[in-house]
Amino acid sequence: MTTVTPTRAGWAILVLASCNASPAPTGSPEASSRPGVSDAPRWVECTEASRAPMEALLLARHHLERVDDRVDGLTCVTIQLAHQPAFFVELVASHEDKRHKLRGVLATDGTTELVALRDANLEWAQQRGGKATFETIDLDGDHVDEIVVHYEDRRQRLAEWIDVLAIRDRVLLEHRGPRISYDDPDIEETCHGVLASERAGSATHLVVTTTGSTGKSEHCLGNGRHVFALEADALVER
């Protein structure tokens, strides 16, 4: 399932459904109601009731503090990790004069680190209060969700792009994704895009359809339909 979310520029992004469009994962409310799976791990959404105590715990555990509510804090989303639900978390906070961004995966008890939190690159856009949102989808059909990170840079009139995080051997790997849209009055490059997904056998591909592009560049894709697949731990355009 996809939903359409209008942006301030008037065009739309097809937002990937939370988790994915395949049947409900084991442990979800739908799956747990079926015969034979009543003992499966219960699917738990990462609501504020889960998020707030995790934030307090992780700030103390990693000796960090929030100094700017516009930027700092913990974001979480539920992922399917093999045969159990878990929380992917991103914590932005400071130690002394340095701001850190930690990423990892916690069990739904909110305390056990299944993928240990590690420092990640803090995008300049995030340091300025830019928006980062997360969607989960199994891109390679291995029953472990990948996390699609959708960035927005508010310094430009329009600047949106994605990265993909994959879990391999209890380690988070970050793959640079494509630009979705760009429009900066100081640079003569413009493009408008729509992000969607489509099934490809047991895997799922990401699709960016670009219009109004001034041409392929570091900021833009060319006009047309661009399909991206996660292959051999790399996000590649097919």
- Please say if the pLDDT value at position 113 is more than 80: yes
Higher-confidence position of 72 and 10: 72
pLDDT of residue 1: 38
Give the residue carrying structure tokens 């990790």.
81
> Given phi > 0 = left and psi -120 to 50 = alpha, else beta, which region is 169?
left
pLDDT digits (tens, 9 = 90+) for 144-191: 999 999 988 777 778 899 999 999 988 999 999 999 999 988 888 999
Judged by average pLDDT, the poorest of 51-65, 90-104, 114-128, 179-193 is 114-128
Return the SS3 of 193: strand
pLDDT digits (tens, 9 = 90+) for 53-85: 999 999 999 999 999 888 889 999 999 998 899
pLDDT tier, 126 (very low <50, low <70, confident <90, very high otherwise)? low
Report the distance separating Cα 166 and Cα 120, nearest Å.
14
What average pLDDT is seen over the chain? 83
pLDDT of residue 14: 40
pLDDT digits (tens, 9 = 90+) for 15-51: 343 333 334 454 444 444 444 445 667 899 999 999 9
Return the SS3 of 85: strand
As for how many domains the chain has, the answer is 1
pLDDT of residue 109: 95
Residues of the domain holding 138: 2-237
Higher-confidence position of 147 and 2: 147
Give the residue carrying structure tokens 């989808």.
137
Asked whether 173 and 140 are in contact (CB, 8 A), the reply is no
Q: Where are the beta strands (DSSP E) in the chain?
A: 2-6, 12-16, 73-81, 84-95, 98-106, 113-120, 131-137, 146-152, 158-168, 171-183, 190-200, 203-211, 224-231, 234-237
pLDDT of residue 169: 87
HEC string for 97-132: CEEEEEEEEECCCCCCEEEEEEEECCCHHHHCCCEE
What's the token pair of residue 169?
Answer: 């051997």
Question: Strand 73-81 vs strand 84-95: parallel, antiparallel, or unpaired?
Answer: antiparallel
pLDDT of residue 211: 96
